[in-house]
Amino acid sequence: MFGSDTVTILHICLEFYFTDGMEYQDNLLSELNAKDGHKVIIVSDCMRYESGKLVPVPSEDRILQNGVRLVRLPYDHIVTRYLSGKLRKSRHLRPLLDELAPDVILFHSCTGWELRTVSEYRKKNPHVKLYVDSHEDHLNSATNWLSKNILHKVIYRCFFQSAKDQIEKVLCTSPLRLQFVRDVYKVPTELLELYRMGGTILPDNEHEKIRRELRNTFGIADRQVFLLHAGKFDKSKKTVDLLEAFRSFPGLSVRLILAGAVANEIETEFYTVLEADNRVKYLGWMKGSELEQLYCAADIYIQPGLHSVNVESAICRGCALIVSPEANQMETVSIENGWIIGSIKELPEMLSEIINDKSVLDRKKKCSLEYAKENLDYVKLARRYIPIDCSAGNSVKCGNGT
């Protein structure tokens, strides 16, 4: 079955609001699978991000610019819209599996009714490789008693347990998430594998060209330290706290740029503090490709609140990091490539130390890129679940088997 150069790969993203143009895991993995010459289909729900906000969209079936086929399926209505969104059942998936006849299925998340459907399909088609990845942890899931003890420990655990015998591996995107699925869903240890979130890595000459052009565009001199903060800005990301702390640091040796969508809950505070400091520039919501270029120009990516996938993306573009312990749930930041900041109030003193000895910053940036090449390169990660006897393109072997 897998002797040919290409396979059909199905990414099931029924709870991840697939949005073309973003630089999220499901976007990058599927695009890189297609670049390797495989037939790739994404199945998603009927929600997507527009300017950083979730909006409903119709069912659709179309080919994206990168050649990946996107199929959006509505959830079945189960009592209420809220419950439907938690169970994520879609009767349209089963006939689609028969139509697509995938060789490899990557089910994004350990949760959802359709994990059962996919496992039943695999049982009838034992040549199919079924992988599940996990993005659930105690910071983003099971955050109250009802969610933890009913939704996750009973309903989602039941879904997983009914499917586990058909699963090759559960690919956990951080050590914290590996522990969570082992404890909450009772995933057997032999099924677990650490599979970090990643990013794309540019050739050095291309990186430097983008860096020079963007720093010139924003009027940031080589001697100035460029801090970047990006994503969806709300109270949990501590964006306003960051602005206030940065404002208390004097001088023009450091610049701060923000790119993202501002939540209504902080909008008034955000713009008030923003306008009080002309060293700060807010670019609004940016496309994933634009943000990826912005990382090249930055020296430090700063995440004072909860984790964002932007952390790993920034590491892949050689940024040093300033993050909170909560933002480091992926455990990709250490003393080698960044600073763990206990309180954002420590930022002014930290910036003073960085300015006084920029050689430390240079070392941490270099360590970020070295770490990324070894552990976070999506070109390598996208081949993890491809059968070992399938070649990518003309010559590169895919996957490492199970």
Structure tokens at 368: 């970020």
Answer yes or no: are the C-beta atoms of 328 and 246 closer than 8 Å. Answer: no
pLDDT given for residue 1 in this prediction? 44
Q: How many CB atoms lie within 10 A of CB 353?
A: 11
Number of domains in the chain: 2
When pLDDT is averaged across residues 374-393 and rounded to a whole number, the result is 82
pLDDT given for residue 22 in this prediction? 85
- HEC string of 116-155 equals HHHHHHHHHCCCCEEEEEECCCCCCCCCCHHHHHHHHHHH
Q: What is the CATH number of the domain that holds 137?
A: 3.40.50.2000
Answer yes or no: are the C-beta atoms of 28 and 124 closer than 8 Å. Answer: no
When pLDDT is cut at 50, 70 and 90, the band that residue 389 belongs to is low
Whether 340 maps to a domain, the answer reads yes
Q: Does 126 lie in the same domain as 165?
A: yes
Q: Does 163 lie in the same domain as 132?
A: yes
Whether 259 maps to a domain, the answer reads yes
Whether 3 maps to a domain, the answer reads no
Whether 190 maps to a domain, the answer reads yes
Max Cα-Cα span within the chain: 66
When pLDDT is cut at 50, 70 and 90, the band that residue 401 belongs to is very low
The answer to whether residue 237 scores a pLDDT higher than 80 is yes
Whether 174 maps to a domain, the answer reads yes
Q: Does 87 lie in the same domain as 16?
A: yes
When pLDDT is cut at 50, 70 and 90, the band that residue 398 belongs to is very low
Q: Does 151 lie in the same domain as 20?
A: yes
Structure tokens at 209: 């060209």
When pLDDT is cut at 50, 70 and 90, the band that residue 15 belongs to is confident
Q: Does 386 lie in the same domain as 339?
A: no
pLDDT given for residue 387 in this prediction? 86
Q: Does 239 lie in the same domain as 181?
A: no
Q: Does 371 lie in the same domain as 381?
A: no
Please write the tens of the pLDDT for every residue from 150-193.
999 999 999 999 999 999 999 999 999 999 999 999 999 999 99
Query: Structure pTM?
Result: 0.85
pLDDT given for residue 400 in this prediction? 37
When pLDDT is cut at 50, 70 and 90, the band that residue 4 belongs to is low
Please write the tens of the pLDDT for every residue from 267-300.
999 999 999 999 999 999 998 889 999 999 999 9
Q: CA end-to-end span of the chain, whole Å?
A: 17
Question: How does the average pLDDT of the chain come out, rounded?
Answer: 92
- Residues of the domain holding 127: 8-198+377-397
